[in-house]
Amino acid sequence: MRIAGSAALVTGGASGLGEATARELLRRGGRAALLDLPGSQGGRVAAELGAAARFLPGDVTSEESVQAAVLATEAAFGPLRVLVCCAGIGSARRTVEKDGTPHDLASFRRTVEVNLFGSFNAIRLAAARMVANEPNEDGERGVIALTASVAAFEGQVGQAAYSASKGAIVGMTLPIARDLARHGIRVCAIAPGLFDTPLLAGLPEDARRSLGAQIPFPSRLGRPAEFASLACEIVENAMLNGETIRLDGAIRMAPR
């Protein structure tokens, strides 16, 4: 799928991996709508990116928000051909805390709702529009890139909810790719390791360096631009389908 001239919707596009992906899509000649929460920096980012970008305030867990975003993307930029799902949240709670308190169910449910249900909500609504696209010379009508995590494979202490949500994204990537293959829509997931995103930005610099040193090579935190590059490669390489790609510098997470 050629990015140049294609319309993309990026969830979580106001910061971190999503913002970097939107910027790279535009650098390669694409057009991108950024779906993120109303209180995010999406408006500022879209203004910086110019006429080839739009900020669409909304919530990925809302059918109405995502449906409106899909239609607004098409109204602004033409047929939707690319979806990149980067919206997500984290949580850190033990199954039973040291004081004997059980993991609260509400936070577990919310993490899964945003990370998993939010991704699938965007997938189903975007794919429903992509199936009507004219196919390109390879028969492609659309490409979907999801964000998993190495926590899907090596979740650490306190990551039960987060790992469950990201493991489910890994688990649904292949069946959705198989399901949408007859429509010429490809689906892949990226499982990033330790990346320099707003999630880690609040840590002291020595803690950030310590995290980076855990990565075999390169021994540093990943750069959002490196995630964005892989997301764009997924869009442009027609043989990438149904796969979850680790982007982690060969790290394998320890229990804690």
Q: Active-site residues: which are they?
A: 162
Q: In the beta sheet, which residues pair with residue 244?
A: 189
DSSP states along 146-189: EE--GGGTSPPTTBHHHHHHHHHHHHHHHHHHHHHGGGTEEEEE
Residue in the structure block whose two tokens are 């999801």: 146
Separation between Cα atoms, residue 87 and residue 65, nearest integer Å: 13
DSSP H helical ranges for 29-143: 42-49, 63-77, 105-112, 118-130
Separation between Cα atoms, residue 234 and residue 229, nearest integer Å: 9
DSSP state of 128: H
